[in-house]
Structure 1
């Protein structure tokens, strides 16, 4: 049994409980064994003027687009399909080796900023090789695209057969640090009759209500996506059979949370329930100039909302905490403790990992970030994390009881 080590810092933010001024967190092996107020036990290590927060949870990435930073400028909302054309053109320039290099770059950036759990949309399972070798938990959402029913079924079958091969292959990693899931890509790129049953099984993700053109397609079967898909030679009107609400209906068979990525144009009365999550990507949302995101209206209804970064094709970096800080800057009425929860425990819950990580609780994995904070007092200690004067010094991240290099 590994020796127990007790850490202290200026503030400890369990997230599941109120912050602890000079609190302590005790780690034994890979596990948190105590989280206590100041004076309960003598610390072994004082981390100084930092906040200890749970490891960050990035619910939505496209690691394979990490080489596109600055190369595909976001458009305005009405021309979103022009941006998609740019993404497709970019992907056609990348060799398999290029894609693997891009994935490693994006993953390293996530880890450097303190991400300990992520959800990656992966084309053909490409990110598996890098993710399973890294110090991170992950849900890998295998992206499925196909308006033609036979094409869609074929790609789902590819998912199942490849997952079995990877799981049983010689490079299978130890432990249970990652999981597979499906991502029917978006309402405009999948056969509705085939994709809706996949959504009914839970544990999946779909891009939904990302642009006004998508709403026009679902409502009227017209608009920019018809031209876009026709240009690609894949337009199939018979595949587009559902309305927006059909994608969010609750099915009794759903076993795990479903993720609805973006939700920029979701009506606030959309019938979401406890098993479903909106993943809000704040800086990507702002880069496209979308109207104010309705996440607070959904939270007021009890709907879970977590954060993602999206990809470096639409975001300057993959710093999940920067997403929360950006929201604080544009929506200062949102409580800071809620923003921190959205960046940690809510995200872990959304991805189905809340029993293992997402908060600093006894029995959970010792995943946390030592975050430099401003050298001042604050009535609400969360302001030390989200205030404009936060230091830019490097963060230290512990994953499963070991500090990352």
Structure 2
């Protein structure tokens, strides 16, 4: 990454460290790959003024499926009651893709994440297929190896695979492994127990799709509804393999750190979420399926961490996590802007276990930042400027080096 050793100081109309109050015309000083100082206006003479813009921490997208990036517009989301129809479309799409096409789709999605200013990604991938693309890209990432197996035989194979992975865990300075037992309707309870126990022993993050649709709740509570028909049609209906409720996945199984509960659209705020557990809310995907209002505010009121993700291009228009925050702001204008900015930076970094390195602007942190153009307007709360829809290209620094357009495109090239 950056080989420069002399300090460089940048200023902007606003500097948002996330760990402290916004600084009007503040400065960020970078030395090599790290931030040396974040100071108020006048404390240091800047080397570069980026103008009418905000300097914010690098964006964090804790939930993606990069392999579905080729499905943009091909699998329109259904209403919430027909969610399994959309799942059939996703399964059908994946079955048509060759390994080469899947890798191309992954690189396409990665390039889009980089272009929007993402510097930390959580990607769920079958067989960990996105590892090579992410490990070689100018971003941090956690690649969640996905496990699926409701029948006892397939679950046993998946358990053997999980054990094998933990014997030779790949890791780079920018890329780590996680585990993802997919969802309550697709994972045998014994497989869930095995995968999460291995994750605990090896301190790996776990990501689970949980309480995503009303049909999932009906399946677990009464063994009926559209998910039963869906599983029967696939030939994988095994009633004795199911957990009893979404809450059981939290209170009985996933007591380790960190855990990511993806979507949680219909998860009541009553379960005791572990201290290092996180709800990952994907606002525009949630809206596309017409789900009931998300309980993110109730979780926050209970001091549960909530961060924002994009899900995939099979259900979302793009992979821009800042647009997710702007979408929430449009629907909840009374929700504090500083919390929203935290939800796409520090909260995501905490959820993925990277908060010591990134997620805020501060001395000693990695120099991961985004320059976001601002509208020509004044407002009492400067967060409103960052959260306003506004055109303009963003500039991204990762580990002290500016990403060029060519470098960002590397995510889409073999």
Structure 1 residues 370 and 84: alpha-carbon distance in aligned structure 2, compared to 1, 3 A threshold = same
1:320 positional shift: 0.4
Structure 1 residues 71 and 43: alpha-carbon distance in aligned structure 2, compared to 1, 3 A threshold = same
Residue 92 of structure 1 aligns to a residue whose secondary structure is helix
Residue 177 of structure 2 aligns to a residue whose secondary structure is strand
CA distance, structure 2, for counterparts of residue 354 and residue 250 of structure 1: 27
CA distance, structure 1, for counterparts of residue 402 and residue 166 of structure 2: 30
Question: Is the contact made by 1:199 and 1:247 (CA closer than 8 Å) also made in structure 2?
Answer: no
CA distance, structure 1, for counterparts of residue 296 and residue 237 of structure 2: 32
Q: Determine whether 1:221 maps to 2:223.
A: yes
| Corresponding residue number in structure 2 for 1:181 | 178
Structure 2 residue corresponding to 1:34, chosen from 34, 37, 59? 37
Question: Is the contact made by 1:337 and 1:382 (CA closer than 8 Å) also made in structure 2?
Answer: yes
| Corresponding residue number in structure 2 for 1:110 | 113
1:302 positional shift: 0.3
Q: Please give the root-mean-square deviation of Cα atoms over the aligned residues, in Å.
A: 1.6
> Following TM superposition, where does structure 1 have runs of at least 4 consecutive aligned residues deviating by more than 4 angstroms?
162-166, 250-253
Question: Is the contact made by 1:196 and 1:247 (CA closer than 8 Å) also made in structure 2?
Answer: no
Structure 1 residue corresponding to 2:187, chosen from 154, 178, 190? 190
| Corresponding residue number in structure 1 for 2:51 | 48
Structure 1 residues 70 and 394: alpha-carbon distance in aligned structure 2, compared to 1, 3 A threshold = same
1:155 positional shift: 2.0
**TM-score, structure 2 as length reference:** 0.92
1:192 positional shift: 1.0
Residue 394 of structure 1 aligns to a residue whose secondary structure is coil
CA distance, structure 2, for counterparts of residue 147 and residue 335 of structure 1: 42
Structure 1 residue corresponding to 2:71, chosen from 68, 71, 74? 68
| Corresponding residue number in structure 2 for 1:155 | 158
Structure 1 residue corresponding to 2:147, chosen from 140, 144, 147? 144
Structure 1 residues 163 and 96: alpha-carbon distance in aligned structure 2, compared to 1, 3 A threshold = farther
1:250 positional shift: 6.5
CA distance, structure 1, for counterparts of residue 85 and residue 212 of structure 2: 14
Correspondence list, 1:334-353, <5 A: 334-353=335-354
1:203 positional shift: 1.6
Structure 1 residues 145 and 251: alpha-carbon distance in aligned structure 2, compared to 1, 3 A threshold = closer
1:253 positional shift: 6.2
1:345 positional shift: 0.2
Structure 1 residues 21 and 109: alpha-carbon distance in aligned structure 2, compared to 1, 3 A threshold = same
| Corresponding residue number in structure 1 for 2:296 | 295
Question: Is the contact made by 2:159 and 2:194 (CA closer than 8 Å) also made in structure 1?
Answer: no
The Cα offsets for residues 7-63 of structure 1, whole Å up to 9 and x where unpaired, read as 111110000000000000110110001000000011111111110000000010000
Structure 1 residues 250 and 347: alpha-carbon distance in aligned structure 2, compared to 1, 3 A threshold = farther
Question: Is the contact made by 1:205 and 1:259 (CA closer than 8 Å) also made in structure 2?
Answer: yes
**TM-score, structure 1 as length reference:** 0.94
| Corresponding residue number in structure 2 for 1:403 | 402
Q: Determine whether 1:101 maps to 2:109.
A: no
Question: Is the contact made by 2:162 and 2:195 (CA closer than 8 Å) also made in structure 1?
Answer: no
1:226 positional shift: 1.0
Q: Determine whether 1:78 maps to 2:78.
A: no
The number of residue pairs the alignment matches comes to: 396
Correspondence list, 1:217-296, <5 A: 217-249=219-251, 254=256, 256-296=257-297
- The answer to which of 175-184 and 347-356 deviates more is 175-184
Structure 1 residues 77 and 151: alpha-carbon distance in aligned structure 2, compared to 1, 3 A threshold = same
Question: Is the contact made by 1:397 and 1:403 (CA closer than 8 Å) also made in structure 2?
Answer: yes
Q: Determine whether 1:13 maps to 2:19.
A: no
| Corresponding residue number in structure 1 for 2:407 | none
Question: Is the contact made by 1:56 and 1:114 (CA closer than 8 Å) also made in structure 2?
Answer: yes
CA distance, structure 2, for counterparts of residue 367 and residue 50 of structure 1: 16
CA distance, structure 2, for counterparts of residue 64 and residue 160 of structure 1: 24
Residue 96 of structure 2 aligns to a residue whose secondary structure is coil
CA distance, structure 2, for counterparts of residue 10 and residue 188 of structure 1: 49
The Cα offsets for residues 297-334 of structure 1, whole Å up to 9 and x where unpaired, read as 01000000001100000000000000000000001111
Structure 1 residues 241 and 291: alpha-carbon distance in aligned structure 2, compared to 1, 3 A threshold = closer
